[in-house]
Structure 1
Amino acid sequence: MVRDRHGTPIRPRVNAHTVFSWVRTFYQDLARWAADEPTRWGPWVAPCPVRDSDSDTDHSKNRARRKAAMDQRTRTLLPALPSLVKAVERQLKDAQTCLATGRETSAGAPFTTPAGETLLRRAGVSSRVYADDPATGRRRDLTVEEERAFWAWAIVEVLRHTGMRIEEALELTHHSFVAYQLPTTEIVPMLQVAPSKLDQERLLLVSPELGEVLTAVIHRVRRGQQAMPLVSAYDSLERLWSAPMPFLFQRRCGPEDRAIPRNYIYTCLNDALAASGLTGPGNEQLRYTPHDFRRIFVTDALRSGLPPHIAARICGHRTVDTTLGYAAIYPEDVINHHRSFIARRRALRPGEEYREPTAQEWQDFLAHFELRKVALGVCARDFGTPCVHEHACIRCPVLRPDPEQMPRLEEIHANLLDRLQEAKEQGWLGEVAAIEASLAAAEQKLAAMRDLAARHTTVHLGMPDLRGVVARIDSEQRNEDAKGQS
């Protein structure tokens, strides 16, 4: 029990294992000091009252209790993730619209926000846009609101698409983009994650959705310049400043650019959650931490059928047990029944499921994205699954059409019309029904292509080119040498 200064019990102790560790450490220190100075510390040596079994049992119970709390937290936050994504997107659009409207409004004039609030533009010569809220009498900094909404949206998207640790995300630079060559000719963009917790770097595939987010971050940090600013970041764990690097997560603070610290990410995320109004089962406000997105990423990946050893490699875990510890999918009884089912099916299933993937298996996993490339776009089937539609791509509902292949599909559509006319003239009724089904699917794919072409543009990640930087450094060095000789 935790007691006050008068000895009265206040509440049960949350973690007694810490107290046991302190007591055991104290008695071990006395024994070690007595070996060095027997005269001084020898009389104080005594057997430790805390047994090994007490400490180990308490530690096991505390670990199981913590695991159960994390699993319950993941099961609560995972269903609310789509709502959070929509909320941060809406907050970013509203903040950008409000800031643009405020800039266009003259000083002292009223304007209406997307939320229906009426604000008065505040006069001033600062580059920031301020507005007064007549309803509350509070002054609002629209520039800061838009900036926090953007970084909240960016960190949510990056963490939920990659499952990275927060320190790994903040250490991403413009040099982290790597062009990976698949076994044939296709090149896919990947992110090189710097070593953090386990001193192991790894590569992550950049999906189209993640590519759009990173492009928006790069465009914002550049601010119309050709190169990204070089800033130094302070590592609070290592107590060191990094060399100047083009970090992706950086922002303008007054006259200089600074790397975004971890506490600013927490501030932006908490503000976005407070404005979203998302609540949990007990009607309390939901609270996401950056590490929650990592647990959600692992849980969602395993639920989608990704092998555990592949998920461990993506997350940077040394063992598969660590990856399975992150997942919160089933209660304990379901897990036990599932493992029993796997044991009965060992004769029909591969025997080495939970192990480190070999180099060939990792290459097969990367080559899967090449096999999904078809003439009209990309097949969205999962890893390790065959084509269940007999490669009838026009009729297949999992085909993700490519807008650049619209002329090819229009040619196929015209050919289907000619074949339909010929089948009707020849009286091939079975062929007429088959061609009409393909024609309807082709028209649906054409509509999807036109919609994608209207909503999306080409994603350019802006691969860094160091040739200009090296030439500039060489030129400056030659000028300094010439000045020194003169």
Structure 2
Amino acid sequence: MTIAVPDTHKDRRSARPLAGVEAAKLLQRFPPRPRPTDWPVTSLNRADLYDWLRHPDQRLPGTESSQATRMVGARLLLSWMETLPGDTWQQRWLASPAASQQKGWYAHVQAYSRTLGRNTPAATVQAGMHTLICADAIRPDLTWLMANSSRFARPAIQRSRDPEGFARLEAAGCPGDDNVGTASAALLAIAQMIAAYGGTVQDITVGDCLALLQAAGGRKTGTRNARLAYLWLRELGQFPPDAPGSLLSFSNRAGQVSVEMLVDRYQLQCKPVRDLIVDYLNERRPSIDYSSLRQMSTVLAKLFWSDLERHHPGIDSLRLDKEVAAAWKARLATKTIYRRQPDGTTALVTEPRETAPAVKQMVRAFYLDIAHWAIEEPGRWGRWAAPVPINQDEWSAKKLGQRQKSRSDQRTRERLPVLPALVRVAERRLKEARTRLDALNAASPGTTITVLGETFTLPRRTARLDGRPMNAYDAAGRRRHLGTEEKRAFWAWATIEILRHTGIRIEELGEIGHHSIISYKLPTSGEVIPLLQVAPSKNDQERLLLVTPELADVLSAVISRVRSADGTVPLVHSYDSHERTWNPPMPLLYQWQVSGENRQISQHTIRDALNETLMASGLTDASGRPLTFAPHDFRRIFITDAIMNGLPPHIAQVIAGHGNINTTMGYAAIYPTDAIEAHQAFIARRRAVRPAEEYRTVTAEEWEEFLGHFERRKLALGDCGRAYGTDCVHEHACVRCPLLIVSPSERPRLIEIRDNLSDRIAEAEREGWRGEVEGLKVSLAAAEEKIAQLDSRRERRNSPIFLGIPALEQVAARATTVAPSPSAAAR
């Protein structure tokens, strides 16, 4: 149901984000170098500094005219800084307002120039500033340098500061050096760190790179440059072994944080209860993993107590009134989220919360744990012991499991038949993407090509060292990254194939490495069997899977794709999104190169690639909406298909890595074949012993008579409820008949009948018709009883306990048209 955004939704306190916590921890471990305000060059007097700037080693590339312009700007800047307090040029620069002003900083120098009777252009002041920076006379901070970059700065710093260090970098080769701009961007970031902190390339620390990344402020270009520079220096062995393997998503990751930070995200108002939740989670932390700890903090702090504080301000006790507990359960039963609509728009919708029983279970455990601990430590937990507001039936694990099993089975039965179609679409998309990419690589820049009925125009210039174009423009003028399209099509195909042939989890898919493929020689025949080693994930249970020929082809294609020029699979650092920790470098198969850096393919990218394939397939579900495939659906399909084809359940349990065979059977959407076949056999046996005429075909006359019975049930006051084939035993005295079903709309007419009967009784008594009085009183009593029934039904419907079950007259009737029989037509 689509609804408008309520005021309560707007007023909710948003959770404090944890993004950047990991960055803060890294900066504490690896702080940047201190930035002094006194060093030899910045301490020179004005005349000596002029001589230093005119030295050939300090000249920036360009003509004599441009060099003269730089010197004019430098002299003006030095004159201006002499008016500021400080003993060195760096101290004077830091004392100026321009040091903290990234844009338009030169306006202060221009204003000073006008006091001297000059009108110096901004470009001259900027050129002089870059001259002073390259000469190491002043060192602006990284934020200022990134906002005021110059194309001449990096070559000048490279030549004047550390030519040997930069030569060592270029000899080692920049990661991802197939792009001209990649190495240049990384060298620019290194030059900026030297300009801000001084020293040489060898002096750059991990903290310097972290500070540069932080100064980028999320800007795509600056962030990429900082990551590439860090990766380049790390591969040269310049950083300590405990340095981060990658700075990917440095500003967004939170890492593992304390319980206090997890709870304080939701800004609880009652400090005693906040402290209780923190204490409780700290008590539970040694026995659960970090992912469960985060989930538990969300349930207790957000879904439970924060919700209570929002709707019951001032609440400070776990002892909840029945009305408060009931209202919380009612709010928990639904959730309001943004959902994409069939027309592509996004609307705020409310829908049932499927995890509500699990949330209730966690809150109930919270109450029970405190009550149990209160016996052992009354001083610590005793005052918080309170009656549990959730009874056993409200979170029944059996009901929850049955609902989850029903939903999973429905998804599996809906997706298992269409899996071959999805596989064909994935293969077709990969073939078409490769055809387009091959045509792009074979064409020259600036030409127009036609492939698979599509026309592409190639750009005239490319940044690749090999001269091949990177993208093209289609007939509509949109830029198409055909290389990226081919990569996503390949990984979508590989994901579908590996998941459907192994049934592994998506976490295990991302952890498959080159060393995961091993061989085993059978002791009896000596045959070598390839096996896939699946690393422990959910249950910390390692297992080996047989590699089928189809799976071997897919794994071979993946290895050939990720293997580097020397034949090895590059080592990449992966991030455990559940435990919020970095794993050591491993030769993972699910990796690709982005901006010169080898990265693990994220689960989000895998899901997006699957969704793109599904959209191209055009598959729909029972409601006509586009069919969705979650990676875990392939696991259920694999187990279901294996058991249906004769694999013993206990073997399927081992292959799936389940600790309990009931879990495996819960994944298998097995139809009750035995029950269906037994029921069919029972029906066949029953029909064999009963008279054959009972199973004859109904004639047209009999069918017409059957339908006519229901047509004859319609009466003036409602409907007759007598059974089919029976006659009226009350001689159509319908008001007296208990089988008369009176319609509520006929109540006024029934009242008229009652009043008329009363008048007739009075007339009969007045005239002395004793025999008629008795019969009329029976009819009057029946009429009054039916009026009372109508009133009672209306009161029950309007009462709070009415369940909304429609009455018989509210049920839509079905009209059936039957062709008249030949005999009826003749009549």
What range is the shorter-chain TM-score in?
A: 0.5 to 0.7
Q: 1:126 to 1:268 in 2, by over 3 A?
A: farther
Shift, 1:156, TM fit: 0.7
The within-5 A match list for 1:268-279 is: 268-279=609-620
Does residue 1:242 correspond to 2:570, yes or no? no
Task: Give the letter for the 1:293 counterpart.
Answer: F
Q: What residue number does 2:455 align with?
A: 118
- Contact 1:88–1:272, Cα closer than 8 Å, also in 2: yes
- Distance in 2 between the 1:140 and 1:50 partners? 56
Paired position in structure 2 for 1:64: 402
CA displacement 1:55-111 (0-9 Å, x = unmatched): 32xx32232112111101101111111111111111001001101101222233222
Letter in 2 for 1:149: A
Match of 1:295 in 2: 636
Structure number with higher relative contact order (C-alpha < 8 Å, ≥ 6 residues apart): 1
How much does 1:41 deviate?
8.0
Deviation per CA, 1:4-46: give whole Å up to 9, x if none.
8499988674344245336535644764786699789867754
Percent identity between the aligned chains?
50
Distance 1:35 1:146, change over 3 A: same
**Which stretch has the larger CA shift, 35-44 or 322-331?**
35-44
Q: Name the structure 1 match of 2:669.
A: 328
Judge conservation of contact 2:358–2:395 (CA < 8 Å) in 1. no
Correspondence for 1:95 = 433
Contact 2:564 2:570 in 1 (8 A): no
Write the mapping of 1:296-311 to structure 2, written as runs, cut at 5 A: 296-311=637-652
Aligned residues: CA RMSD: 3.0
Point out where structure 2 has 5 or more consecutive residues left out of the alignment. 9-310, 312-326, 335-349, 681-827
1:166 counterpart letter in structure 2: I
Preserved CA contact (<8 Å) 2:563 2:570? yes
Structure 1 counterpart of 2:610, which letter? L
Counterparts of 2:596 and 2:671 in 1: how far apart (Å)? 52
Whether 1:195 and 2:563 are equivalent positions in the alignment is no
- Relative distance call for 1:39 and 1:199 in structure 2 (3 A) is closer
Q: Which residue of 2 aligns with 1:170?
A: 510
Cα separation, 2, equivalents of 1:40 and 1:250: 50
Q: Give 1:171 deviation, angstroms.
A: 0.8
Other structure's SS at 2:472 match = strand
Q: 1:129 to 1:40 in 2, by over 3 A?
A: closer
324 and 285 in structure 1: CA distance in 2 versus 1, 3 angstrom threshold: same
- Classify 1:18/1:321 alpha carbon distance in 2 versus 1 (closer, same or farther; 3 Å): closer
Please give the per-residue CA displacement for 1:243-297, whole angstroms capped at 9, x wherever unaligned. Answer: 2211111111122211212111112111121222222233221111111111111
Q: Could you tell me which amino acid in structure 1 is paired with residue 403 of structure 2?
A: R
Q: Secondary structure at the match of 1:330?
A: coil
Contact 1:177 1:192 in 2 (8 A): yes
How far apart are the structure 2 equivalents of 1:267 and 1:62? 30
Which of 128, 143, 156 lines up with 2:483 in the alignment?
143
Query: Residue 238 of structure 1: SS of its match in structure 2?
Result: coil
- Maintained 8 Å contact 2:532/2:544: yes
SS in 1 for 2:417: coil
Paired residue type of 2:430? L
- Change beyond 3 A, Cα 1:43–1:177: closer
Once the two structures are superposed, residues 319-371 of structure 1 have per-residue CA deviations (whole angstroms, 9 ceiling, x without a partner) of: 2222111111215xx45567999xxxxxxxxxxxxxxxxxxxxxxxxxxxxxx
Aligned mates of 1:241, 1:44 — CA distance in 2: 38
**Counterparts of 1:25 and 1:309 in 2: how far apart (Å)?**
32
Partner residue, 1:211:
552
Report the alpha carbon displacement of residue 237 of structure 1 after superposing the two structures with TM: 1.3
The residue type paired with residue 574 of structure 2 is A
1:436 is matched with which residue? none
Distance 1:37 1:27 in 2: 15
* Rg (Cα) greater in structure: 2
TM-score using structure 2 length:
0.38
Q: Could you tell me whether the CA contact under 8 Å between 2:545 and 2:655 is conserved in 1?
A: yes
Alignment partners' CA distance in 1, 2:620 and 2:596: 39
Alignment deviations for residues 434-483 of structure 1 (CA, whole Å, 9 cap, x no partner) = xxxxxxxxxxxxxxxxxxxxxxxxxxxxxxxxxxxxxxxxxxxxxxxxxx
- Which secondary structure state, in structure 2, belongs to the residue aligned with residue 288 of structure 1? coil
State the distance in 2 between where 1:33 and 1:312 align.
Answer: 37
Match of 1:14 in 2: 353
CA distance in 1, matches of 2:487, 2:359: 44
Q: Given the superposition, is the C-alpha separation of residues 218 and 339 from structure 1 closer, same or farther in structure 2, using an over 3 Å criterion?
A: farther
Structure 1 Cα separation of the partners of residues 589 and 417 of structure 2: 29
C-alpha change, 1:123 and 1:317, in structure 2 (3 Å) is same
- The answer to which of 172-181 and 25-34 deviates more is 25-34
Distance 1:188 1:34 in 2: 58
CA distance 1:190–1:20, change in 2 (3 Å): closer
Moved more, 284-293 or 60-69: 60-69
Partner of 1:253: 594
**Hey, which of these two has a bigger chunk of strand by percent?**
1
Equivalents in 2 of 1:241, 1:272: separation in Å? 30
- Which of residues 584, 608, 611 in structure 2 aligns to 1:267? 608
The worse-fitting range, judged by mean Cα deviation, of 267-276 and 288-297 is: 267-276
Q: Distance in 1 between matches of 2:502 and 2:365?
A: 40
Report SS of the residue matched to 1:72.
helix
Q: In 1, distance between residues paired with 2:362 and 2:497?
A: 42
Contact 1:99–1:129, Cα closer than 8 Å, also in 2: no
For 1:12 and 1:238, the matched residues in 2 are separated by 30
Distance in 1 between residues matched to 2:376 and 2:653, nearest whole Å: 47
The structure-2 alpha-carbon separation of the partners of 1:160 and 1:33, relative to structure 1 and needing over 3 Å to count, comes to closer
- C-alpha distance in 2 between matches for 1:26 and 1:130: 56
Number of aligned residues: 334
Alpha carbons of structure 1 residues 28 and 4: separation in structure 2 relative to 1, 3 Å: farther
Distance 1:193 1:165 in 2: 10
- Paired letter, 1:299: T
Name the counterpart of 1:74: 412
TM-score (norm 1): 0.62
Other structure's SS at 1:191 match: strand
**Partner secondary structure for residue 300 of structure 1:** helix
Q: Which moved more, 1:319-328 or 1:83-92?
A: 319-328
Distance of aligned partners of 1:4 and 1:33 in 2 relative to their CA distance in 1, 3 Å threshold? farther
| Partner in structure 1 of residue 471 of structure 2 | 130
Deviations 1:122-174 (A, max 9, x none): 23323462111223x32111110000001101111111111111111211111
How far 1:302 sits from its partner (Å)? Answer: 1.1
Matches of 1:339 and 1:326, distance apart in 2: 24
Give the drift of 1:222: 1.0
Q: Which amino acid aligns with 1:159?
A: L
Contact 1:84 1:276 in 2 (8 A): yes
Distance change in 2, residues 1:284/1:307 (3 Å): same
